[in-house]
Amino acid sequence: MKHNCGFACKSHDPNESEFQLREINHDRYNEIIPFFIENELEFSEDEPVATDLIKGWELVRNQDQRLVGACILAKRQGQYIIDGIAVDREFRDIKAGKLLLDQAILEVKKRGGTSIYLVARSPEFFKKAGFKIAEKEDSPNFFECLTCPQYQVSCFPEIMKLEV
């Protein structure tokens, strides 16, 4: 798959580039969850509503196929969400997160979506991409954070929304 990654690539041919962006098949979603957990994302089997996986992407280093980052786009209650996005700490300075997030935003636009929601542990990163903090009372109740007793007590993620 050729991809204009915009960073750390010597060419746009994945065989000559340092990194490769690949789509994640739905049947591989469960393989990505441990990577998300290792990079401090929380996952629960008890989701408040059903999640429909739309598409996912992974960024791997070509020399050893090391997973550098991943992003999962899904839908809950008819709303597009980033169901998970993470980058290995060692690679957070090469704009891998931006590349992955841009893929999800492009996909939502291609599908005619008008917005994307997410729960951000790093809100500043998402603000740079145009996301805005959504007030709890204005947010759909499809993130388990909203019903968690620790939300805004000892855990302070931000619910954010991007109008595309």
Amino acid at 103: Q
What Å distances lie between residue 19 and 2, 82, 89, 96, 99, CA to CA?
A: 11, 22, 16, 10, 11
Boundaries of every domain in the chain: 19-163
Across 10-39, average pLDDT: 79
Q: Are 79 and 139 in contact (CB under 8 A)?
A: no
Q: Are 143 and 43 in contact (CB under 8 A)?
A: no
pLDDT value of residue 77 = 84
pTM (two decimals): 0.83
List the single range of 8-17, 66-75, 99-108, 109-118 with lowest mean pLDDT: 8-17
pLDDT above 70 covers a percentage of the chain that reads 82
- Looking at 3.30.470.20, 3.30.420.40, 2.40.50.180, 3.40.630.30, the CATH number of the domain 19-163 comes to 3.40.630.30
Q: Provide the pLDDT confidence category of residue 150 given band limits of 50, 70 and 90.
A: confident
pLDDT above 90 covers a percentage of the chain that reads 55
Beta carbons within 8 Å of 34's beta carbon, 6+ residues apart: none
The count of other CB atoms within 10 Å of the CB of residue 102 is 16
